[in-house]
Structure 1
Amino acid sequence: MMPRTVVIAGATGFIGSYFKRRFLEEGWQVRTVGRDASADAQWNDDGAITKVLDGAELLVNLAGRSVNCRYDERHRREILDSRVLTTRILGGAVAACAEPPRTWINSSTGTIYRHAEDGPQSESSGELGSGFSVDVARVWEDELAAADVPLTRKVPLRIAIVLGAGGVMVPLRNLARLGLGGPMGPGTQKFSWIHVEDLLRAVLFVHDHAELTGPVNAASPYPVDNRELMSLVRQSLGVPFGVPTPAWLLEAGAVLIRTQTELVLKSRWVEPRKLLDAGFAFEHPTLAGALNEIAATR
């Protein structure tokens, strides 16, 4: 039997490298699009990208510069371009395929929803927010919608914060080890998250369920607040105590560690309504279980 082929765009990051390894373990043929020389096609070569996509069954676009930085003018431009231009390039390449992928899953972000402490934001009832991060997410999704690829189902995946042996866990664990693993700001802000393995499983599930269209939220059904998040991070490391960090101190500290306080102060309450209604079962639904699994695999 011919192996199924997936094309991963942006396969070098924390999520991309995990996806590449797991798809190979599941018996898929993996082709990649990226900036580095090891990729099967580079972003500046439209013909090579079309060739890589032609005959593939699934396209997963994870490309995008990390948002874990200060939002100065240069970084804002890089964050926007790395998402919108890559999506545009892929749209042109898919359109040029003789045998285009059946499904195109394009990263989006759960940050597209407003700051919400009053209720969960589902795909149908959620309210979009405002600000730079939301503007990027909207333009990103608009670019996917604009791609003229009638034979390919396009799904923007609104991904919550992804947990695994990299990504956001690194700074949170470092803070906890330094004794600064207490609640951040009010501590009541919601933290929507998903284990990287469940993200992979959600991608495969969406691919296999042709009835799923439009944006799909990828988040555990059990978000926690920041106070519980930091408590669980401390427990997973065996650190008994963490000093709370007021918002003003976070603002000062964020400049030093070159990141945005929005990453920890915005209340993200993302509900995976479409996945749950379609019968998706999470392997790591609770944060305590997910953190213990991550600590064990380290």
Structure 2
Amino acid sequence: MHIVIAGGSGFVGKALQERLLKDGHEVTILTRNKEKVAEKNRLRAVEWLNPNSNPEKYLGNVDAIINIAGESINGFRWTKTKKKQIIESRIRTTREIVRIIGEMDPKPKVLVNGSAVGYYGMSDEDTFTEESKTEANDFLATVVRKWEEEAKQAEKFGVRTVYARLGVVLGKGGALPLMALPYKIGVGGPVGSGNQWVPWVHQDDVADLLLLAIENDSISGPLNVTAPNPVKNNEFGKTIGRVLHRPHWMPVPSFTMKMLLGEMSEMLLSGQCVIPRRALHSGYTYHYPELEQALENILR
């Protein structure tokens, strides 16, 4: 297949590139700076989101588009400027993807658009599947809802659309190195109450689940891209400690996180128990269904 990736140079995008190329697919990366993409056999770059760039002219026949572009939600604090960048980057890139699809002939069969489990809001008690309804109105839930509404516009062109609701992706990059750092220096422990859920997933399973969304015609709408066995923050930390042979003993109080990170601290002090029902019902077999084996693979 010929698969186009927007956001292909990021942490998740690079793992996805490797997976698709390994399987023999042709991959095109949409990028503002073609020099950042090391083109090679079956991998090329096409410029987009720059003045006078017309990516649709250079794409040819495309089977699928994966859009995981957008400003990182990680950072020190969510300032007004940062929050504006987070939401506008997702709306802008998704709107441009839909525009490109409208210009393409033939159309791709499927758009797999990035999303997040933040859609469900935060809860220590509830369990969420793709069928769960939510009235959450916190910042992340609002961003995700608007993001998915923008992607839904692709359906008017007859393109099957999937919202890939990613959890906390574990790999050599992303959030895990910062989460593991306190343990490496001997001061690891629960964050806040430790009772908040962590809807984690290994990056290898992320790549395969995004490919599943492309290949399985019965999947449309939301797809939870999480592992089948979420854990609470206290257990997550204990597992890091076991894998690294380091103690799990020093709590990080909620007020400290709020003082340091402001509104962004809610992402760490709260969570959601998310179950990937559609992936499981499709028969997908996880590489890393359990947290300890996932962390063993990454941290050792």
> Does residue 72 of the first structure (1) align with residue 79 of the second (2)?
yes
- Please tell me the residue identity of whatever aligns with 1:92: R
Instruction: Report the CA distance between 1:52 and its aligned residue.
Output: 4.3
Name the residue aligned to 1:35. Answer: 32
> In the alignment, which residue of structure 1 is the partner of 2:66?
60
2:237/2:248 contact within 8 Å kept: no
1:265 lines up with 2:269 in the alignment: yes
Partner of 1:8: 5
In structure 1, runs of 5+ residues without a counterpart are: none
Aligned residue runs from structure 1 range 237-276, under 5 A = 237-254=244-261, 260-276=264-280
Query: What amino acid does structure 1 have at the position aligned with 2:66?
Result: V
Q: Secondary structure of the equivalent of 2:99?
A: helix
Corresponding residue of 1:121 = 128
CA distance in 2, matches of 1:248, 1:8: 40
Q: 1:9 to 1:232 in 2, by over 3 A?
A: same
Structure 2: gaps (5+ residues): 36-44
Change in CA separation of 1:103 and 1:61 when aligned onto 2, cut-off 3 Å: same
- Secondary structure of the corresponding residue to residue 157 of structure 2: coil
Tell me the number of residue pairs that the alignment of Structure 1 and Structure 2 aligns.
290
One-letter code aligned to 1:77? K
Mean CA deviation greater in 154-163 or 15-24: 15-24
How big is the shift at 1:126?
A: 4.2
Contact kept? 1:190, 1:268, Cα under 8 Å: yes
Contact 2:33 2:47 in 1 (8 A): no
Q: 2:121, 2:248 → 1: CA distance?
A: 31
Q: Single out whichever of 262-271 and 78-87 deviates more from structure 2.
A: 262-271
The answer on whether the counterparts of 1:155 and 1:214 sit within 8 Å (CA) in structure 2 is yes
Go from structure 1 to structure 2 and tell me whether the alpha carbon gap of 1:88 and 1:64 turns closer, same or farther (over 3 Å shift). same
**Could you list the per-position Cα deviations for residues 207-243 of structure 1 after superposition, in whole angstroms to 9, with x for gaps in the alignment?**
1111111111111110000001111112222212441
Q: Report the Cα offset of residue 203 of structure 1.
A: 1.1
Instruction: Write the deviation string for residues 141-179 of structure 1: whole angstroms up to 9, x where unpaired.
Output: 010112354232111111111111110111101122233
Closer, same or farther: CA 273–207 of 1 in aligned 2, 3 Å = same
TM-score, with length taken from structure 1: 0.92
Aligned twin of 1:295: 299
Pair 1:161–1:241, CA change in 2 (3 A): closer
| In 2: Cα distance, 1:8 partner to 1:276 partner | 25
User: Identity of counterpart residues, as a percentage?
Assistant: 29
Paired with 1:234 and 1:180, the residues of 2 have a C-alpha distance of 10
Aligned residue number for residue 204 of structure 1: 211
Contact 2:205 2:287 (8 Å CA) reproduced: yes
1:81 aligns to 2:88 (yes or no) = yes
* Alignment equivalent of 1:194, drawn from 198, 201, 211: 201
SS state at 1:108 partner: strand
Task: State the one-letter code of the partner of 1:62.
Answer: I
In structure 2, distance between residues paired with 1:46 and 1:288: 49
More deviation, 263-272/58-67: 263-272
CA distance in 1, matches of 2:274, 2:115: 13
